């Protein structure tokens, strides 16, 4: 990938809720906007999701998931999946970490078993499948189940906003385990939260760019304490902006760089 971006500046973007609407694909207009931005600055994606989900939302156009992920890591200067635990630069893998190696099977199962037991006692508007998703760098916990439809997703989001289901779940985990497992929790998106080792939040990706850029901008929507954009937004190495959706992102980026 070739770029004429200004040296010394990189702009990092959360994906879900920042460049796309929740769990939806990037619009052609936003994709064109990002392409124009890359002519001015270096651009990186920082998602809590795995690489396949980022590719799905950000316009990976291959015929299968392998081709789609290849497309996405070559489309942007940097792609940091799973908070940067899986890191790509110009299409090449920079680094990859594993939560399994960090925790070990015994602690991992202890955590998962507790989550499944807790969720079995929840009464929600709907419950579907895929409640605990094991990723390379984190564990994603979803009370409604990631197999839910868009309608069920929206219903849970509204229910969670009122009843704080995810926040109460995180509070229960903190009470149960404390520092025992070395995990922290971040609520992101509409329906789930992430569990990962302390320090493995989105600031993890900064190690790959902090030496090469004088200015590191970050845009995200879940920037409240406990949200999965909070740590990187408040990190002293970044210039952070809170947004409420793709159009808001575009508005601020235009003011800064165009």
Query: Tens digits of per-residue pLDDT, 8-44?
Result: 999 999 999 999 998 789 999 999 999 999 999 999 9
Query: What pLDDT sits at residue 205?
Result: 97
Query: What pLDDT sits at residue 208?
Result: 97
Inter-residue contact 37 to 5 (CB < 8 Å): no
| pTM of the complete model | 0.76
Which of 10, 53, 251, 19 is CA-nearest to residue 142? 53
| Residues 6 or more apart whose Cβ sits within 8 Å of residue 50 | 81, 82, 86, 135, 136
CATH number of this structure's domain 9-97+201-257, picked from the four choices 3.30.390.10, 3.90.1200.10, 3.40.50.1000, 3.30.365.10: 3.40.50.1000
Domain spanning 99-197 has what CATH number?
3.30.1240.20
Q: What's the DSSP call for residue 24? A: -
Q: What's the DSSP call for residue 249? A: H
**Residues 149-185: tens digit of each pLDDT:** 999 999 999 999 999 999 999 999 999 999 999 999 9
Known active-site residue 77? no
Known active-site residue 16? yes
| Residues 6 or more apart whose Cβ sits within 8 Å of residue 245 | 17, 18, 21, 221
């Amino acid at each position: 990938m070739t770029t004429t971006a200004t040296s010394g500046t990189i702009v990092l973007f959360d994906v879900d809720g920042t460049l796309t609407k929740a769990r939806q694909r990037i619009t052609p207009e936003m994709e064109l906007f990002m392409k124009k931005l890359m002519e001015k600055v270096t651009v990186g994606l920082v998602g809590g999701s795995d690489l396949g989900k980022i590719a799905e939302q950000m316009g990976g156009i291959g015929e299968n998931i392998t081709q789609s992920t290849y497309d996405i890591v070559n489309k942007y200067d940097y792609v940091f999946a799973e908070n940067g635990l899986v890191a790509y630069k110009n299409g090449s893998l920079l680094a990859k970490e594993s939560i399994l190696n960090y925790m070990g099977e015994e602690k991992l199962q202890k955590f998962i078993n507790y989550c499944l037991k807790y969720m079995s006692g929840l009464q929600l508007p709907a419950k579907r499948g895929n409640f605990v998703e094991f990723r390379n760098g984190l564990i994603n916990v979803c009370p409604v189940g990631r197999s839910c439809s868009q309608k069920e997703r929206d219903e849970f989001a509204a229910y969670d906003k009122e009843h704080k289901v995810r926040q109460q779940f995180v509070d229960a985990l903190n009470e149960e385990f404390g520092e025992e497992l070395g995990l922290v929790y971040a609520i992101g998106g509409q329906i789930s939260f992430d569990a990962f080792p302390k320090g493995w939040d989105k600031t993890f990706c900064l190690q790959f760019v902090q030496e090469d850029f004088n200015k590191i901008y970050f845009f995200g929507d879940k920037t409240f304490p406990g949200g999965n954009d909070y740590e990187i937004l408040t990190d002293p190495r970044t210039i952070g902006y809170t947004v409420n959706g793709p159009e808001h992102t575009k508005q601020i980026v235009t003011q800064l760089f165009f």
